[in-house]
Chains A and B, each alone.
Chain A
Amino acid sequence: MFADDEINILVIVLDVNPIWWGQQAQREPQFTLSTCLDSLMVLANAHLVMSRTNKLAVIANLYQKSHFLYPSKQWKSGDEISTSSDGKYELLSVTNDLFAEEIRNLMDRTEVSGSHTDSLLAVSIAKALCCILNLWFMQIAGQDVKSRILVIKAAEDSTLQYMNFMNVIFAAQKKNILIDACVLDADSGLLQQACDITGGLYLKIPQKIALAQYLLWVFLPDAEQRSQLLLPPPVHVDYRAACFCHRNLIEIGYVCSVCLSIFCNFSPICTTCETAFKMPLPQMAKTKKKKVKTAN
């Protein structure tokens, strides 16, 4: 393994929906947000230690806003590196300290409002893509860049940003960036599609306390090494479309040729783009006209 020839970029997107985490702390006191963050730090440190050229970024997703936990803007301007007292590798101690400080700041300045029990991950994944591309341009010629995004999902899915999410997935696929998903609670159809289309791994964790183990065993190896490991099998993804009128999943539907909206029944007007459709008329059989003999 030529360590200098390859850069591995890992971006972790963490879902910090406060309502879900609050309820989680009451359901299972052994697994709270702090234990989850500890497991994440273990994964982050392991990734940084695997190779000198590996790069890391962490984004927290709050409802539909995203905040970069690492690298953060304040660090760039300050640049104080605290010397660790226990002899730990300095990059790891700096990373962990920054990580903890940023999440503390985030929690301090967030006001929990409303009752959003779902989280919209599209914006964090979009920012992760831009961040990866930024790091891409800093490479030296001749280096191979492999990147992946690990999404840790806690709260439920929301279908409100379906189109943005699909755009983000296709952009990741085009740039050969894998999207892995580690789901803590409810299955997410959108993330299953994302993992299937980009070639990543989808895993729903049976026991949340063992999160660190799952992260290290399943999500730490990169794409090349995964072919040699025995990993959880791919899940069956439901690619059926949902009709625009009832949101039911349908197997046969009608698609408007102008705006591509899907309907379950034939209707004369498309509700999205308001075009009137031509009704298919039944074919009339041509009757042969008998020649009328004109009597001379």
Chain B
Amino acid sequence: MDEEPERAKRWEGGYERTWEVLKEDESGSLKATVDDILFQAKRKRYMFEGHGQVRLGMMRHLFVIIDSSRSMEDQDLKPNRLTSTLKLMEFFVEEYFDQNPISQIGIITTKNKRAEKLTDLAGNPKKHIAALKKAVDGTCVGEPSLYNSLNVAMQTLKHMPAHTSKEILVIFSSLTTCDPANIYELIKTLNALKIRVSVIGLSAEVRVCTILTRETGGSYNVILDESHFKELLMLHVKPPPASSSSECSLIRMGFPQHVIASISDQDAKPSFSMSHLDSTSEPGLTLGGYFCPQCRAKYTELPVECKVCGLTLVSAPHLARSFHHLFPLEAFQETPLEEYEGERFCEACQGELKDKSIFTCQACKKVFCVECDLFIHDTLHCCPGCMQTDRTS
């Protein structure tokens, strides 16, 4: 274990004079400063960290370990930590599957010195969200066990193929952990299996978590308040850079056709969907669905792994959703409004440019207002100006 020089703790640094940021203008009003702060907050909404040409881990298997010990009943996050965490987790699961449609998530909870799986690794967001909604009623007792929960996650992750990115995210609120064996041995095993562990702390920095994340290459953050918690969670939605030792391979996938049949069709036969055979509620006979091209088993939703023949079934838009990670959009250059001489109109929304600064795309030299810039980088991922000039996708 190499000891990096530890960061200076906050109480060791100098004082921060936060009251000096606010400045009054001649008439004594703070409006200009407040506008400035709002503008900076808008800009901070997307923190553009360009990975450059780094290979990303696109197929991710992520386990989320949620601490359900006694410390989660603390009411510093309203109404209590557990409810707040579960609500943010629902949002996280939706965003995660939006940005990584071919990845999978599993959820583990730990309390009373034991760990148990809430949901298994699956690619369908509905099951996870239903389980999270039910878990709000659960009680928070006892102490968490970091060793046990990491062990449960590891048992499943070690069978995953090498080209996927194996990750664990721990939401840790207690300051203690109760482990049956030496956790440093477990950290060595995790490292050998190339599993990346990140921790979001809700109370304070715990040394064993620092070592855990440092050894496995993950990140460790402690939240300040609820909005900071959300920001930290959202950092884990983007695909991380793939480790150099992960292998690249060609994965065989199927692209089934969606069959919509009606009762009047001669050939339409009602059939069960394979994904609903095990569930106790509504095993309905339906006419249409997705049929696996290899074994003709039926499924109602994609993406799914065929239970009969093991083929991963996806549809082309699922892969297309991840393309913007591979070809990220460059950040636009920010210039103050006074220096700009051309027509004061935003290229995208045709609105007048009223904000403090305007944004220029480096490639096509068109200008955009701050709202359009945010929309383009956050959601659209392609520049309307460049789309008018280049002919290739």
Contacts and interface: CB of A to CB of B under 8 A. Distances in A.
Nearest to A132: B349
Contacts of B293: 251-252
Interface string B321-357: 1111011000000000000000101101111100000
A277 B258 contact: no
B183 interface: no
A278 B247 contact: yes
B384 A130 contact: yes
Contacts of B250: 254-257, 263, 266-267, 270, 277
Interface in A264-296: 266-267, 270, 275-278, 280
Interface string A111-136: 00000000010110011011101100
Contacts of A88: none
Nearest to B56: A258
A27 interface: no
A166 B323 contact: yes
A170 B393 contact: no
B245 interface: no
A263 B252 CA distance: 9
Given A71-B350, A167-B324, A239 B257 contact: yes
A57 to B, nearest CB: 8
Interface residues on A, range: 35 or more
Per DSSP, are chain A's interface residues mostly helix, strand or loop, or mixed?
Answer: mixed
Contact of B249 (A129, A167, A241, A278): A278
Contacts, number: 174
Given A64-B387, A162-B393, A277-B249, A130 B319 contact: no
Nearest to B327: A163
B351 A134 contact: yes
Contacts of B350: 68, 71, 73, 127, 131, 134
Given A130-B375, A257-B249, A250 B326 contact: no
Contacts of A16: none
A197 interface: yes
A257 B251 contact: yes
Interface stretch (B10-18, B173-181, B185-193, B309-317): B309-317
Contacts of B387: 64, 120, 122-123, 126, 161, 164
Contacts of B324: 167
B379 interface: yes
Interface in B223-259: 242, 247-258
Contacts of B247: 278
A167 B253 contact: no
A239 B255 contact: yes
B36 interface: no
Contact of B322 (A127, A251, A260): A260
A25 interface: no
Nearest to A263: B250
A160 interface: yes
A226 interface: no
Interface of B: 55, 58-59, 98, 163-164, 242, 247-258, 260, 293-294, 311, 315-317, 319-324, 326-327, 343, 345-346, 348-352, 371-372, 375-376, 379-382, 384, 387-389, 391-393
12 contacts: A126-B348, A130-B376, A161-B387, A164-B387, A171-B375, A239-B255, A240-B255, A251-B293, A257-B249, A270-B250, A276-B248, A277-B248
